[in-house]
Amino acid sequence: MIKKIISGLGPKEQKIYNHISSGGAWSDAHLQDIGPSDGKCVHCGQDVQDISHITWNCPKINQHRKINDLKEVDSDMLPVFIKHGIPKAMSTNVEEVFWGKVPMADGKQCNRQTLEAIGKQATSKRKVVASCKHQEIKDVLKGNNLIPGNCNARQCFQQIKANKQPPHLALPYRCHRPAPADINVYTDGSWINPLQQYLGLGGAGVWWPGRNPSVQHRLSQAERDLAHCKQYPSGLMLYAPIGGFSGSSTRTELAAAIIALAANGPIHIGTDSQAMLDRAQWILKHLRKGKRHKTNWQTTPDGDLWHHFEEAARAKGWKSIRITKVKGHATQMQVDGGAVKDCDKAGNDQADQAADIVV
């Protein structure tokens, strides 16, 4: 976080921030002890006690603040590391301040602006809401065998979204029929918070237009193992959450393709992911030639899922699998202009909705 902040500053500001955050900056109070200063701020003329006068309390410097709410914050209520711009891991207790404790100094009480700035609820209504949310968090942590005092918010979130189940390679039955010429299943993936690794969540969605397992094309055991399903009058929707330490939209797209492969019978997948399509076609080409490639999936990004895809394609048979690129998030204007088929737009939109259900 500090590196990200510093990288957005100018050369002069970077040096100033580095001195302050590392504790290497000299305030006018320190300089007075050795002679070069009279102990007064060179900007506003007030007496200086420590470096926090420059970072928080100098009225001349505060005139240039872009976030005006910080002018109302009582810096005496802040821990030293916060006053110097060094963040601490966020606590799981939403009733308290961001770092878990209510800061106090010499018996003083925080004003409302300070409380709101540091994450403490200042009104009765917000306190009730925070109390309810805190109880929900405690229940979730308890259900995952986590002790709040032993983990910060990031660590708890990471352990909750991690897949703790042993690996299960759900594979489809062998299919001897060739893949249809027209697309019969659409896949899509969703990944939120892509720039925040610890907060990233993914979902894989599959849409089978016109499929009704209670009438025909029943769910395979592999589909039941991998995904949840929801029946609609116009088709069947399958979806599954994608967790883990890290992820990407390509990973969720790949997971959706694996779910589609798990179905009984031949499939023709419509996907809007070029990256997934290219690697999947490469795998199918090697299966078609009967050759083993030299790629080590253990050292390949998303290699665990690519290994699953390869084994599922091998079990099903390459002749019964076909993948085609479709336009993602197509507009009605593109459909009217003939650039996109109406069925492809509808199928991709439904698969996208399926992927969003779990995120």
Q: How many CA atoms lie within 13 A of 210 on its CB side?
A: 4
Are residues 83 and 193 located together in one domain of the fold? no
| Count of structural domains, the chain | 2
Separation between Cα atoms, residue 204 and residue 198, nearest integer Å: 19
Are residues 87 and 236 located together in one domain of the fold? no
Are residues 195 and 62 located together in one domain of the fold? no
Give the other-Cβ count within 10 Å of 252's Cβ: 30
Are residues 89 and 191 located together in one domain of the fold? no
Residue 294: which residues within 8 A CB-CB, separation 6 or more?
A: none
Domain that holds residue 295: 185-357
Instruction: Let me know if residue 80 belongs to a domain.
Output: yes
Instruction: Let me know if residue 316 belongs to a domain.
Output: yes
Is residue 283 within 8 Å of 300, Cβ to Cβ? no
Is residue 321 within 8 Å of 177, Cβ to Cβ? no
Are residues 204 and 317 located together in one domain of the fold? yes
Instruction: Let me know if residue 338 belongs to a domain.
Output: yes
Instruction: Let me know if residue 104 belongs to a domain.
Output: no
Predicted local confidence at residue 199, as pLDDT:
76
Instruction: Let me know if residue 131 belongs to a domain.
Output: no
Predicted local confidence at residue 261, as pLDDT:
96
Instruction: Let me know if residue 44 belongs to a domain.
Output: yes
Instruction: Tell me which of 38, 58, 93 is where a domain ends.
Output: 93
Are residues 85 and 194 located together in one domain of the fold? no
CATH number at residue 323: 3.30.420.10
Cα angle 257, 225, 356; round to 5: 50
Look up the pTM and report it.
0.68
User: Which phi and psi (to 5°) does residue 151 adopt?
Assistant: -135, 145
Instruction: Let me know if residue 320 belongs to a domain.
Output: yes
Are residues 213 and 351 located together in one domain of the fold? yes
Predicted local confidence at residue 63, as pLDDT:
84
Instruction: Tell me which of 54, 78, 93 is where a domain ends.
Output: 93
According to DSSP, the residues that pair with 324 across neighbouring strands are: 270
Are residues 189 and 89 located together in one domain of the fold? no
pLDDT in tens, the chain (359 residues): 566 767 777 888 777 777 766 666 777 877 888 878 888 888 888 888 877 787 788 888 888 877 777 777 777 777 777 777 777 788 888 888 887 765 555 556 667 777 777 777 878 888 898 889 889 988 988 888 888 778 888 888 878 877 666 666 789 999 999 999 999 999 999 998 877 767 788 999 999 999 999 888 999 999 999 999 999 999 999 999 987 767 889 999 999 999 999 999 999 999 999 999 999 999 999 999 998 899 999 899 999 999 999 999 999 999 999 999 999 999 999 999 999 999 999 999 999 999 999 88
Instruction: Let me know if residue 58 belongs to a domain.
Output: yes
Instruction: Tell me which of 44, 68, 93 is where a domain ends.
Output: 93
